[in-house]
Amino acid sequence: MSLQKKYRKVLLLGSGALKIGEAGEFDYSGAQALKALREEGVESILLNPNIATVQTSEGMADRIYFLPVTPDFVERVIERERPDGILLAFGGQTALNCGVELYRSGVLERYGVDVLGTPVQAIMDTEDRELFVEKLNQIDVRTISSEAVENVDAALEVANRLGYPVIVRAAYALGGLGSGFCDNDSQLRELVEKALSFSPQVLVEKSLRGWKEVEYEVVRDRYDNCITVCNMENFDPLGIHTGESIVVAPSQTLSNDDYHFLRSLAIKIIRHIGIVGECNVQYAYDPESMDYRVIEVNARLSRSSALASKATGYPLAFVAAKLALGFGLFELTNSVTQCTSAFFEPALDYVVVKIPRWDLGKFHGVDRHIGSSMKSVGEVMAIGRTFEEALQKGLRMIGQGMHGFTGNRPSVVDDIEGALKSPTDRRVFVIADAMEHGMTVDRIHELTKIDRWFLYKLRNIVDTTSELRGFNNLEAVPENLIRKAKEQGFSDFQIARAILKSEMGCAESAVLSVRNLRKTMGIVPVVKQIDTLAAEYPAATNYLYLTYNGYQNDVEYTGDHRSVVVLGSGAYRIGSSVEFDWCSVNALLTARKAGWRSVMINYNPETVSTDYDMCDRLYFDELTFERVMDILELENPHGIILSVGGQIPNNLATRLDSQGVNILGTSASCIDRAEDRHKFSAMLDSLGIDQPRWRELTSFDDIDDFVAEVGFPVLVRPSYVLSGAAMNVCSNPDELRRFLQLAADVSKQHPVVVTEFVQYAKEIEMDAVAENGQIKAYAISEHVEFAGVHSGDATIQFPPQKLYVETMRRIKKISAKIASALQISGPFNIQFLAKNNDIKVIECNLRASRSFPFVSKILKINFIDLATRVMLGMPVERPAKSAFDLDYVGVKASQFSFSRLGGADPVLGVDMASTGEVACIGDDTNEAILKSLLAVGLRVPKKAVLLSTGTPKQKADMLEAAHMLHRAGLTIYATGGTCQFLHENGIPAIKVYWPSTPDSKPQALDLLHNREVDLVVNMPRNFTGTELSNGRQIRRAAIDLNIPLLTNSRLASAFIRAFTTIPVDKLEIKSWQEY
């Protein structure tokens, strides 16, 4: 090897909390980079506050700092660690922006830190639109003619010159933040103002809506050798952000000339820019000629590169890290074949389809249209040997109750043509509806601009569905039709529903009938390898998928019962994210260490668990009952672990058990006793454990009677929701009526669960591992907010700092009783309410919870390792250490992505809204809370704070914090009641007016627009969202103008106390290992 310089110690910047536009893919990239550093014997320092990630686990980096990825913190870590190199390309836009700032301010030079890989100048050339266009003009490469402006008037002038429609983008923004299409002056004005709040520069460009969007992942080494690892084509045309598009790899509708024309261009571009490592080039491509525009170049690992890695088996991030250290591509080996060079381009013999997962239903008032700004929270990747097969798999994988392209509940779209023209998150199903109604491919193409090739393939599925519908009983269906359906990716359920229709009866038994029928016909899937070379060279790869398009397995199964199958978490979504990837990976590692063949099933391309070197066999496939059974029948495992991947695997317990599958750990019947509300409640009653009163009710009268008994507020959970939130807190009869009537149906078929809502109660979490009903290890943590904020949104501290010893003791006792009653073996989590010393159980999950990585890493006891050992029947010692021994505290804070969800009211409630989390460690709560809130993007105010503190109780709660703000010399602005309350308590405040009285000055909104305040504390009066308009406008403006916002009095008080107690520059910089 001929390194230009041998690096001793390298700092890697992570991407922080998962957020829309920046998610798990950077855990994967960072983890690969750390592996590469380790392999070369380079000492690695990781800065990333995302405690739930795999990269921040023991053994990944030599030292880990759970600190905000901001220039000041990074500088202090550099000062302390003195690395000689820094990697900026593995932590998304967050790391890249932070790195560019450190370079510009001279910090990197001052400390002699080299930027490894792509030089900073090249990064700036790709990030700054004007530089970028100029750079590509030098080599006659076409870009979208766009002009950078710095104010609204200039934007209007440009737009009118170019002609509408135009697209507006914020420079230096991730995932298309603040960008969108405008058809007229008023839309433009609105969007530009918003974009300018995120970025000093806004770009206005001519829209090419309807062109194809094609991407190439390109790698270059310092010897100027280049490869394109993968190209990808968007199913959705230009105009829909890549993160919002269905993406297909490799491209399907490009001819050889198209493919290689764009490929050559991509190489020409990255040579000219001077990338060293990996980057992607995005094109707009005319569907009627070979005209093109370069949309952008990302000089870093990206969501697309993670997808390309999984789609091809080429470890892009690992290779990019090696190239950054100075290697040439020819010096590296293809890690899949182990015998060929890493200088090659993968040949795929399958089709990959990526589909985004949205959770827009969780937000009040959000605009469901998809466009040039990203709103999806996760994605899935499906592999098949026809497009139809891959797409139908993928549509099931997104996990929103869909069975494929067809066979779903009829959609409720009134205007199909309109919905095709202005797409929402449900667009693909609208296409299915349109086809079922007989709309032609040409017409759908006209409305959607989706290439006809894709539409014809979709029509094949619709045609097969209608053929199946021509039969009424399974026995009558010809074998070749069932085979064709399976080759097109139909599930047994889809086939059952098409044939049996409303006569289906019990879905589970109908599905089993189809399964048995096709098995007798010999229609079973085969297992194929992903080997990067389309079988040209033998590969010892363990990266697998299943398909019906083939007649031969690539794997020889010996039936040795040495496999332990771990079910992963599926698509990231609100409520299930990278934490379950950490749990899955740790279960795999423990099983492998214990001598089992570790087998993973998962389909999320943003994860480390789907990295084929994390396990002995990776099935990149569905987590449906059907597919899991297909795999288990081939694998013949010792057993299966379904308690580390969140709710999706957990939900399969009963059905797998009924097929005789050996479920490791807690039995399926006990899982069912915890999951079934009635059984669990009865069990608590029999154990004498208190719980909030609840009732499952089927009529409005019954609901009224029950509410009369428990009193308002109540928590209401309908079983069938037409639209909007799945549950809500109602404080009075009006709200209750409105919610039930607008949102849901109440009937015998669709009962409503109404629960007493305990106010001002503490919420406490118990995370634990038990063996045969005996607790082996536990961690009790405490929410900062009172109950009513979803545990996934709450700020949590561990060990608890403000709990009575008596409360802790009671919680331990109750947990022990439950563990014993359910004979728990493995991980579990119980949530409690505590008021005074009254303890009520609100939920119990016999699986790992979201907080497992957090408590494991703070306590430095790996709960998943313990749980897995229990499940494998290995001896487990009770750890000697307990939370009482810790002389530090960890605070986990939530990351919200409201800025991307236009229109959504950024309030917290009983339904989870956060997209990610961080956790930081401090010597006390103040320190930990300040670090972690800074890590999720809050900033300490320097000038003024706007307070609207809601109810009298909340106002009183905030009083001490208001004093602290005043003492800290900050100006306080307050709305009517709050201002009066502050004056009465001797705190000076300037009164401002709500938007509902627009003639009174000063206006609260003006303060925000003029950036006169740098923190907004705005409490909604109640949880119903009725008190919307005033508060909501303020909250939304804060989000849109990127001004820190807090909406909970307990959290706001904690933050204010923290920053008025410790200055940010006095926060201690200590690695995890030093605590």
Partner 1 sequence: MVAAGIGLWLAATNPSSFQKTDEFMQATKSAVLILSDGTRFPGRSFGFEGSTSGEVVFNTAMTGYPESLTDPSYEGQILVTTFPQLGNYGVPPQDGASGLSRYLEGSRIHCRAIVAQDYAFHHSHWLASEPLDQWLRNERVPGLFGVDTRALAKHLRHHGSMLGKIIVEGCGEPELYDPNAHNLIAATSCDQAVVFGTDGSTQPLGNPEELAPDADGRKTVVLVDCGIKHNIIRCLLRRGVRVVRVPWDYDFNRIPKDGLFISNGPGNPEFATATIDHLRTAFKDGKPICGICMGNQLMAKAAGAATYKLKYGHRSHNQPVRMLGTERCFITSQNHGFAVDNETLPADWEPLFVNMNDGTNEGIRHRTLPYFSAQFHPEASSGPRDTEFIFDDFVKML
Least distance to partner 1, CB of residue 263, Å: 6
- Helix/strand/coil (H/E/C) assignment for every residue in 899-932: HHCCCCCCCCCCCCCCCEEEEEEECCHHHHHHHH
The token pair that represents 289 in the structure block = 């000629």
DSSP for 587-605 reads HHHHHHHTT-EEEEEE--T
Least distance to partner 1, CB of residue 2, Å: 8
* Calpha distance 909→228 (Å, rounded): 46
Burial of 998 (0-12, 13-18, 19+ CB in 10 A): exposed
Shorter beta-carbon distance to partner 1: residue 190 or 467: 467
User: Which ranges in 116-219 belong to alpha helices (H)?
Assistant: 120-127, 129-137, 152-162, 185-198
Shorter beta-carbon distance to partner 1: residue 448 or 1060: 448
Shorter beta-carbon distance to partner 1: residue 275 or 779: 275
* Calpha distance 177→660 (Å, rounded): 49
Q: Are strands 85-87 and 114-115 parallel, antiparallel or unpaired?
A: parallel
Burial of 186 (0-12, 13-18, 19+ CB in 10 A): exposed
The token pair that represents 232 in the structure block = 């990808």
Considering only 293-301, 548-556, 730-738, 814-822, which stretch makes contact with partner 1 by CB under 8 A?
548-556
Least distance to partner 1, CB of residue 487, Å: 8
Shorter beta-carbon distance to partner 1: residue 256 or 996: 256
Shorter beta-carbon distance to partner 1: residue 193 or 417: 417
Least distance to partner 1, CB of residue 526, Å: 8
Cα maximum dimension of the chain: 84
Q: For residues 409-468, which are near partner 1 according to CB under 8 A? A: 410-418, 433, 437-441, 443, 451-453, 456-457, 463-464, 466-467
Residue type, position 434, single letter:
A
Shorter beta-carbon distance to partner 1: residue 250 or 713: 250
Shorter beta-carbon distance to partner 1: residue 78 or 441: 441
* Calpha distance 1039→20 (Å, rounded): 14
CA 615 to chain centre: 23
Least distance to partner 1, CB of residue 529, Å: 8
CA angle 155, 159, 162 (to 5 degrees): 140
Least distance to partner 1, CB of residue 469, Å: 11
The token pair that represents 796 in the structure block = 């949590």
Out of 528, 638, 790, 892, name the contact with partner 1 by CB under 8 A: 528
Out of 184, 255, 741, 1010, name the contact with partner 1 by CB under 8 A: 255
Shorter beta-carbon distance to partner 1: residue 237 or 788: 237
Question: Which positions from 1034 to 1073 touch partner 1 by CB under 8 A, shown as an x/- string?
Answer: ----------------------------------------
Q: For residues 328-367, which are near partner 1 according to CB under 8 A? A: 328-330, 339-341, 343-351
Least distance to partner 1, CB of residue 250, Å: 5
Under DSSP, is residue 945 helix (H, G, I), strand (E, B) or coil?
Answer: strand
User: Which ranges in 636-743 belong to alpha helices (H)?
Assistant: 647-650, 653-658, 668-675, 677-687, 700-710, 733-743
Least distance to partner 1, CB of residue 213, Å: 16
The token pair that represents 84 in the structure block = 């000689």
CA 364 to chain centre: 19
CA 1011 to chain centre: 31
Q: For residues 312-331, which are near partner 1 according to CB under 8 A? A: 328-330
Q: How many chain residues are in contact with partner 1, going by CB under 8 A?
A: 82
Instruction: Give yes or no for a contact between 833 and 765, defined as CB atoms under 8 angstroms apart.
Output: no
Q: What DSSP character marks residue 361?
A: G
Least distance to partner 1, CB of residue 379, Å: 22
DSSP for 283-298 reads EEE-TTSS-EEEEEEE
Shorter beta-carbon distance to partner 1: residue 441 or 901: 441
Q: For residues 572-631, which are near partner 1 according to CB under 8 A? A: none
Question: Is 557 a binder of partner 1 (CB under 8 A)?
Answer: no
Shorter beta-carbon distance to partner 1: residue 340 or 820: 340
Least distance to partner 1, CB of residue 84, Å: 25
Paired strand residues for 146: 205
Shorter beta-carbon distance to partner 1: residue 253 or 731: 253
Least distance to partner 1, CB of residue 662, Å: 32
Question: Is 257 a binder of partner 1 (CB under 8 A)?
Answer: yes
Burial of 161 (0-12, 13-18, 19+ CB in 10 A): exposed
Out of 536, 560, 709, 734, name the contact with partner 1 by CB under 8 A: 536
Question: Is 250 a binder of partner 1 (CB under 8 A)?
Answer: yes
Least distance to partner 1, CB of residue 429, Å: 12
The crossing angle, in degrees rounded to 10, of helices 507-520 and 492-500 is: 110
* Calpha distance 989→978 (Å, rounded): 9
Under DSSP, is residue 1061 helix (H, G, I), strand (E, B) or coil?
Answer: helix
Shorter beta-carbon distance to partner 1: residue 386 or 781: 386
Out of 260, 813, 860, 943, name the contact with partner 1 by CB under 8 A: 260
Least distance to partner 1, CB of residue 329, Å: 7
Least distance to partner 1, CB of residue 457, Å: 8
Sign (positive or negative) of CA dihedral 124, 130, 135, 141: positive
CA angle 839, 842, 843 (to 5 degrees): 130
Q: For residues 727-786, which are near partner 1 according to CB under 8 A? A: none
Least distance to partner 1, CB of residue 550, Å: 4
CA angle 220, 380, 314 (to 5 degrees): 25
Instruction: Give yes or no for a contact between 567 and 653, defined as CB atoms under 8 angstroms apart.
Output: no
Shorter beta-carbon distance to partner 1: residue 395 or 444: 444
Q: For residues 383-412, which are near partner 1 according to CB under 8 A? A: 385-387, 410-412
Considering only 392-400, 480-488, 697-705, 1029-1037, which stretch makes contact with partner 1 by CB under 8 A?
480-488
Out of 484, 892, 966, 1050, name the contact with partner 1 by CB under 8 A: 484
The token pair that represents 269 in the structure block = 């571009």
Q: For residues 222-241, which are near partner 1 according to CB under 8 A? A: 223-227
Shorter beta-carbon distance to partner 1: residue 101 or 417: 417
Q: For residues 702-731, which are near partner 1 according to CB under 8 A? A: none
Paired strand residues for 573: 576
Q: For residues 270-289, which are near partner 1 according to CB under 8 A? A: 287-289
Q: Are strands 971-975 and 889-895 parallel, antiparallel or unpaired?
A: unpaired
Least distance to partner 1, CB of residue 120, Å: 25
Out of 201, 253, 681, 951, name the contact with partner 1 by CB under 8 A: 253
Least distance to partner 1, CB of residue 254, Å: 7
* Calpha distance 135→140 (Å, rounded): 9
Backbone angles phi and psi of 302, in degrees to 5:
-145, 180
Shorter beta-carbon distance to partner 1: residue 340 or 774: 340
Considering only 245-253, 315-323, 900-908, 990-998, which stretch makes contact with partner 1 by CB under 8 A?
245-253
Shorter beta-carbon distance to partner 1: residue 169 or 393: 393
Shorter beta-carbon distance to partner 1: residue 414 or 999: 414
Considering only 56-64, 255-263, 720-728, 786-794, which stretch makes contact with partner 1 by CB under 8 A?
255-263
Whole-Å CA distances, 83 to 42, 51, 118: 10, 22, 18
Q: Around Cβ 696, how many Cβ atoms within 10 Å?
A: 15
Least distance to partner 1, CB of residue 224, Å: 8
Return the H-helix or E-strand segment holding 95: helix 92-104
* Calpha distance 910→231 (Å, rounded): 42
